Structure 1
């Protein structure tokens, strides 16, 4: 389909990549079947080639018919595209990386300790460009869940955080995951003048704590967090 349309529409892989906001290499992988098309990429290709999705992927066209279109005015400036992915529609490996999500490993944003089960094979997708911008190596990134209200309203109970295991040096007022008194915790840390560590909670009802660095094991710097609010 692409070969038949590229001359008519004056297209090349670089131009298609610019229109889709992906690299030329990613376009090449799609066209040569190295990476399978997903819903979003199929829709973009169809728009660029000015053909229906059914002309090159009847399977995806059938699935797209089950998606409900939304027509509304937005007051948010869009940047980039949402990509829908699953086992049958993987993300392009050269553009995205799947980071281990230790969903049942809880970082205490409170006073208690928690029994945490091990890795459950869940993963979260990150753009490689985003991790590069944050200075995070994909192999050194993990995601965990917050439990407790001491970091609200910034980090509410149930929020997911991304932790850079390579960045353990404490920079004042940054958020870190760490082990303290055998509890996995997440707090804002900063140095005191006496070389102790100030442990700060965003919840104004919680008092700051103080500890020596030797009493703590810094797991890593929190470089991102997200919250999904479900209203019953």
Structure 2
């Protein structure tokens, strides 16, 4: 803002953004970093040189706000910037290069019967980078997230890991990982084709979990459906015995 001598209210109007959103990256206590797409928008709105806001100190007022930003040399000679993690919550607006994906879990569909189905959790959304979806060839409309359980895919995909699923890719490609619904249970497996019309479900942890072979008819009988290809996963590893920071 000091680049144009604007106060925060004028700056918000000039770039056509809400003051609350501006305060998150340019206020006295910023909670997130400016994204590349928004930076280009601001540069155009304020008639600044293109890429001038790529300087990590562009919004610093006192010279110490970005003191935890580290620059490392890259092979191409440019700086590799390691920036602090920006906290967010359900009220934080999405960036222009983000999308909110629904989170699916096993949900009991009939009280007391133990029957489950894989369904979206109401109100649970995960922010996801559109750039990551593009790299993986995933249409955002087909992307969902889910939580993996069990140890059959360990140590590749750990218990409790969040996985990204492409519902637009249900065609079996040997060696790819898929999320499946097996009679209401969410499962994550390598899927391979067998001669004829059968399928083999393979775990990464083959020492403890054997291959499961099914004919096409058994797939139907046991209510096994392929939800989609797993294109991404992420795992949180809390330190044993540690208490969460509240």
TM-score between both structures, scaled by the size of structure 1: 0.66
| 1:179 matched residue in structure 2 | 181
Q: 1:161 to 1:213 in 2, by over 3 A?
A: farther
Q: Does 1:126 align with 2:128?
A: yes
Deviation, 1:134, is 1.0
Per-residue CA deviation, residues 202-230 of structure 1 (Å, 9 max, x unaligned), is 11211101013451311111110111011
Deviation, 1:118, is 4.9
Equivalent-residue separation in structure 1 for 2:101 and 2:199 (angstroms)? 30
TM-score between both structures, scaled by the size of structure 2: 0.62
Higher helix share: 1
Task: Report runs of 4+ in structure 1 exceeding 3 Å deviation.
Answer: 28-31, 42-46, 68-71, 77-83, 112-118
Q: Secondary structure at the match of 2:121?
A: coil
Equivalent-residue separation in structure 2 for 1:135 and 1:160 (angstroms)? 19
Partner residue of 1:223 out of 227, 231, 234: 231
Q: Does 1:190 align with 2:192?
A: yes
Q: How many aligned positions are there?
A: 189
Name the structure, 1 or 2, with higher relative contact order (CA <8 Å, separation 6+): 1
| 2:17 matched residue in structure 1 | 34
Which stretches in structure 2 are left out of the alignment for 5+ residues?
A: 25-30, 35-52, 73-78, 108-113, 242-246
Which stretches in structure 1 are left out of the alignment for 5+ residues?
A: 7-27, 54-60, 107-111
Equivalent-residue separation in structure 1 for 2:13 and 2:170 (angstroms)? 39
Alignment of 1:1-232 (within 5 A): 1=1, 4=4, 32-34=15-17, 36-37=21-22, 38=24, 39-41=31-33, 47-49=57-59, 51-52=61-62, 81=83, 82-92=85-95, 94-102=96-104, 104-105=105-106, 118-203=120-205, 204-214=207-217, 215=219, 216-231=224-239, 232=241
Q: Which moved more, 1:135-144 or 1:29-38?
A: 29-38
Tell me if the contact between 2:118 and 2:184 (Cα under 8 Å) persists in the aligned partners.
no
The CA RMSD over aligned residues, in Å, is: 3.9
Q: Secondary structure at the match of 1:48?
A: coil
Equivalent-residue separation in structure 1 for 2:13 and 2:90 (angstroms)? 16
Equivalent-residue separation in structure 2 for 1:79 and 1:208 (angstroms)? 44
